[in-house]
Structures are given as structure tokens and as C-alpha cells.
Chain A
Amino acid sequence: GQNIDQPTEMTATEGAIVQINCTYQTSGFNGLFWYQQHAGEAPTFLSYNVLDGLEEKGRFSSFLSRSKGYSYLLLKELQMKDSASYLCAVRGSGGYNKLIFGAGTRLAVHP
């Protein structure tokens, strides 16, 4: 079976750092993806990890541990516009680049 778990909601303060965790159990593994989705809008691609370790892209970083089935998205210097849902997705084996998504974490950034 396939299972991707994320916290449902998180809150943080403007200027702070927040870490959103994701654990997964999938049939094979060919990469983990993070997307940002503002309310009522389509998801936009943030980051991609296929090897263990940290990938940094500006204020956003994503970490992967394949042996633990674990990833996190780290957001630094939080801004109000970072209030959104953050979706963790895994590409399993079997081809076709199918992405299986978690339910998402709703992040609220407060002043």
C-alpha cells in the first residue's frame, strides 16, 4: 500500500523558521516532491529530493532520508505570503512518473 503522512495544521510567526515533516511508505521510491498551494489555487512546485540529504533553494530547504522514509521542508525568514498548504508527494516505482500526494499541511503565519 501507499501512505504519506503530514501534520494537518501548523502555525508560526513572521520572521521565524518552521519545519514541516512528511513520512511515507510507498511501493518503491523514485523521488520526493514538495508543492505549495495557496487557497483556491493550483499547487506550484517547490523542491525535489531523490538522494539523501539537504537541498537548499533560497528561503526553502528540503531534506530526505530514504532509509527512514522521512522528509522535511524547512522555511526560513517566514513571510505572511508563506501562509499556504504544503503538499508532500512521492513518485513510486512502476514508471509513468505518477505522483502520490499527502493530504497537505496548512501553515498559518502570524505577525
Chain B
Amino acid sequence: SQTIHQWPATLVQPVGSPLSLECTVEGTSNPNLYWYRQAAGRGLQLLFYSVGIGQISSEVPQNLSASRPQDRQFILSSKKLLLSDSGFYLCAWSVKGRGEAFFGQGTRLTVV
């Protein structure tokens, strides 16, 4: 069966520090991968999606970047965090040609 791992679960970082969140998927090949952000009490905002290694599409201009160095690995990064980067970050995957996405457990990021 397929599983998705996302870490860390919680993170407190100072303003201006770098960020690296990692997500890996097991049990499937060539998935579509996604990074979403959820502000407190709000819906999910799509940040990045990837259909293959090295292929990244950005949905909104922001202080973040994403990379996909391996088929089942998706990384969210920032060189310098802003207070507004605080939120609940969710990695997700889906099978190509099917719509439903399956989410990792999320990382709650607090920038102080």
C-alpha cells in the first residue's frame, strides 16, 4: 500500500532563517506531488505541484521554492523565512489520471 511521510511535524523558526521540509512517498511510482499551505481557520492553498523529477510549477508568487530531486521526494524550501510564512504545510500525492490526492500528516510551522 502507498504511504506518504512528511517531517518534521512541528517547527519553530526565527524570521530570516532558512527552511527545508521534506516529503517522501512509498509504494507508488511517478506520482504527482503537491505542496499546500493552510493558514489558521482557512482553506488549503496550492503552492507547488510536480508531475516528474525536476518539474515544478508554482501557483502563487511567494518566498518559497520547491524541488523534486527524486521520483518520490518533494522538498519545500525558503532561504529567508517571513512571519507570514507561518502555517500548516501539507504534502500530497496523486496517481496520474486520477483526481483524489492523499495527504501527509503536515508540518505546523511557526515563524517567530
Contact = CB atoms under 8 A, between A and B. Distances in A.
Given A96-B49, A97-B32, A97-B96, A45 B43 contact: no
Contacts of A100: 46
A97 B101 contact: yes
B43 A48 contact: no
28 contacts: A30-B99, A31-B99, A33-B100, A41-B105, A42-B90, A42-B104, A43-B44, A44-B103, A48-B99, A50-B99, A87-B43, A89-B44, A96-B32, A96-B51, A97-B96, A97-B97, A97-B98, A98-B34, A98-B46, A99-B34, A99-B46, A99-B101, A100-B46, A101-B43, A101-B44, A101-B45, A102-B43, A103-B42
Nearest to A91: B99
Q: How large is the interface on A (under 10, 10 to 19, 20 to 34, 35 or more residues)?
A: 20 to 34
A99 B32 CA distance: 11
Interface string B74-88: 000000000000000
B30 interface: no
Interface of B: 32, 34, 36, 42-46, 49, 51, 57, 59, 90, 94, 96-106, 108
Nearest to A104: B43
A7 B105 CA distance: 25
